[in-house]
Amino acid sequence: MSRKVADLLWQMLASAGVKRCYGIVGDALNPVIDALRRNGTIEFIHVRHEEYGVLAAVAEAYLTGNPVVVCGTAGPGVVHLFNGLMDARKESAPIIAIAGDVESSVIDTSSLEELNPYKFFETASLYTARLVNPEQARAVINTAILTAVLEKGPTVISIPGDVASADAAVQSTEFTIAARPVLRPSDADLNKLMRMIDEAKTVAIFGGEGCRDGRDEVVELARRLKAPVGYSFRGKQWLEHDNPNAVGMTGLLGYGGAYSAIHEADLLLLLGTDFPFSEFLPGASVKKVQIDKNPKHIGRRTAVDLGLVGDIKTTVTALLHAVSEKTDERFLKKQLGHTNSFHNLLQHYVEKGPGIKPIRPEFLAATLSELASDDAMFFADTGTACIWLARHINGGRDRRLFGSFSWASMANAAPNAFGAQLAYPGRQSIALCGDGGFTMLGMGDLLTQVERKTPVVQIILNNESLDFVNIEQQEAGIVPFGVGFKNPNFAKVAEAMGAKGIRIEEPGDVREGLAEALAYKNGPVVVDAVVDPFALAMPSHAPFHTVKGFTLSFAKQVLSGRMDSVIATIERNVGLV
Ligand SMILES: Cc1ncc(C[n+]2csc(CCOP(=O)(O)OP(=O)(O)O)c2C)c(N)n1
């Protein structure tokens, strides 16, 4: 049988290291999927919602570094891919989307389900191609793969069914993927940096995802410079564990001494971070050097005195060859002292947790962290789950913490954990889900997990509220509105769907319930944890407008007759801030 365009597609994707394709088939995609079946080397993961498939693929691609394929078919199915592809773009995950397209004979005639892929994917995709002629196939597939892998983000190939099933021009499928090139600043720039470090009495480091491959080098640099190390959410998993200089995070989820460390140092080194909250970064009183492999990141969140383009590992290694060691530890010790005090504050609801009902999420998360294995993978939904993940789940050399940290989409955790479990079978894969997030996307595809018997642990923070927005609204000084809803018993729903369901209402049952969930290996588990909707989480450095907002919101709530919720919020949070 002659080789079709769709055969060429899967052969090239398989040789690029693609192991899985997540999606939903139909019309234009049928010949593409038929070729996947014939190919036999790539597993098709049939999901119930295309967005779920992409968010699963994002976690797989981010964690493994390998490209992952997603698919959706003509028009509506393709539209469902979009939010996930935005997530892939922002989280730098190599994803190749195969979008089913209308027959090539009706393109640009406003036919049923027709969608212009160039316009539609413009914001999300690093490269979008429409295959209208078999002669294009090799070049287009080659570019889509190389762009996704080397630029780390999503690309889209839009294929009409008739082109997919057309004979491929006889072409070689061979191609190579180059390793990422090594990138470091010029010697002149490194010398400037060295002088700035020498002139500074105190240095602080703030690192992000760019430290992923250079973690040991950054920790060693910090040791030599006696520099406290703060980090963004994306940097936490690389820079916190086994680092005696770690001082926590700044920003809305902030904790520890990071805020004061970066504001009080003479010199701040921003390493591989595009931390978006400028108001938590110091102004002109602190000299700032930013190093990043992506020049677009440099100086866009805060003005810097020196911006250098380079990989963190390569650049810091070059620095380590020449930098002289500092001896004065007073600044470091002071910031570690702040970190310690904040840690004690955070422990309040962890230690008192066994006696507080409704269950405090801090206690739930800290207990989970203690019980989970050393190589567990944790995923947090956008919402309050992020706060508890940031503050109460400890990382480790082999642990992974991931979420929609830069795109901030709701409902990412369950699909993320599913994709991670497929990539690393047998490793604990734990999703901390919002009840809003789980009912938005996680619930339907629980069926996919059940069917495949995928052991994913979903822990639902059942607070009957879009709680993060509830907090946001109070911070903004307005009366919470449009944030409450009623939930079913998720454990019973899970059981009815064929998963294991565990409902935890009593604080005394938290440990046992979580342990049971983590030990279950025969398929997915849903832990329905009824938690306190009034648990507040203030940043370690609460800006004035936040405090003012809460005061104003409380006053407005009292005036509109909602004294009960004001009292509950205050009562349930005294001692935290
Ligand atoms: C798709 C999407 N819709 C809306 C938002 C805005 N948003 C951010 S957090 C949040 C609330 C999340 O609620 P829930 O999942 O119940 O988690 P909780 O904060 O209660 O823990 C909302 C609506 C978003 N980030 N993404």
- Ligand 1 contact, 434 CB (< 6 A): yes
* pLDDT < 70 regions, the chain: 1, 171, 536-577
Gap from CA of 574 to ligand 1 centroid (Å): 25
Contacts of 92 (CB under 8 A, 6+ apart): 62, 152, 153, 209
CA 200 to chain centre: 35
Task: Tell me how far apart the alpha carbons of residues 574 and 570 are, in angstroms, rounded to a whole number.
Answer: 6
Residue to mutate, 382, 412, 435, 490, ligand 1, most ligand atoms under 8 Å from C-beta: 382
Could you identify the atom of ligand 1 that is nearest to the CA of residue 408? 25
Gap from CA of 401 to ligand 1 centroid (Å): 19
- Ligand 1 contact, 310 CB (< 6 A): no
- Ligand 1 contact, 436 CB (< 6 A): yes
Task: Tell me how far apart the alpha carbons of residues 55 and 34 are, in angstroms, rounded to a whole number.
Answer: 24
Task: Tell me how far apart the alpha carbons of residues 68 and 194 are, in angstroms, rounded to a whole number.
Answer: 41
Could you identify the atom of ligand 1 that is nearest to the CA of residue 381? 15
Could you identify the atom of ligand 1 that is nearest to the CA of residue 433? 15
- For residue 459, the surrounding DSSP H or E stretch is strand 457-462
Is the Cβ–Cβ distance between 423 and 60 less than 8 Å?
Answer: yes
| Cα–Cα separations (whole angstroms), residue 471 to 124, 277, 396, 444, 465 | 30, 18, 30, 28, 10
Gap from CA of 461 to ligand 1 centroid (Å): 12
- Ligand 1 contact, 383 CB (< 6 A): yes
Is the Cβ–Cβ distance between 102 and 112 less than 8 Å?
Answer: yes
pLDDT at 577: 36
- Ligand 1 contact, 282 CB (< 6 A): no
Is the Cβ–Cβ distance between 377 and 417 less than 8 Å?
Answer: yes
- Ligand 1 contact, 412 CB (< 6 A): no
Q: In what order do the strands lie in the sheet with 287-292?
A: 255-256, 246-249, 229-231, 203-207, 267-271, 287-292, 306-309
Q: Are strands 246-249 and 255-256 parallel, antiparallel or unpaired?
A: antiparallel
Q: SS3 for 457?
A: strand
Residue to mutate, 364, 439, 468, ligand 1, most ligand atoms under 8 Å from C-beta: 468
- Ligand 1 contact, 409 CB (< 6 A): yes
103-115 per-position pLDDT tens digit? 999 999 999 999 9
Gap from CA of 435 to ligand 1 centroid (Å): 9
Task: Tell me how far apart the alpha carbons of residues 335 and 258 are, in angstroms, rounded to a whole number.
Answer: 8
Residue to mutate, 466, 473, 481, 528, ligand 1, most ligand atoms under 8 Å from C-beta: 466
- For residue 507, the surrounding DSSP H or E stretch is none
Is the Cβ–Cβ distance between 383 and 392 less than 8 Å?
Answer: no
Q: Determine if the pTM surpasses 0.85.
A: yes
Beta-ladder partners of 230: 206
- Ligand 1 contact, 465 CB (< 6 A): yes
Q: Closest Cα to atom 13, ligand 1: which residue?
A: 466
- Ligand 1 contact, 504 CB (< 6 A): no
| Cα–Cα separations (whole angstroms), residue 486 to 134, 386, 442, 464, 470 | 53, 22, 17, 6, 15
Could you identify the atom of ligand 1 that is nearest to the CA of residue 409? 26
Residue to mutate, 410, 435, 440, 458, ligand 1, most ligand atoms under 8 Å from C-beta: 410
Beta-ladder partners of 526: 458, 501
pLDDT at 1: 62
Q: Closest Cα to atom 9, ligand 1: which residue?
A: 383
Task: Tell me how far apart the alpha carbons of residues 268 and 276 are, in angstroms, rounded to a whole number.
Answer: 16
Query: What is the dihedral angle through the alpha carbons of 261, 267, 271, 275, rounded to the nearest 10 degrees?
Result: 60
pLDDT at 562: 56
Residue 358 token pair: 């409704």
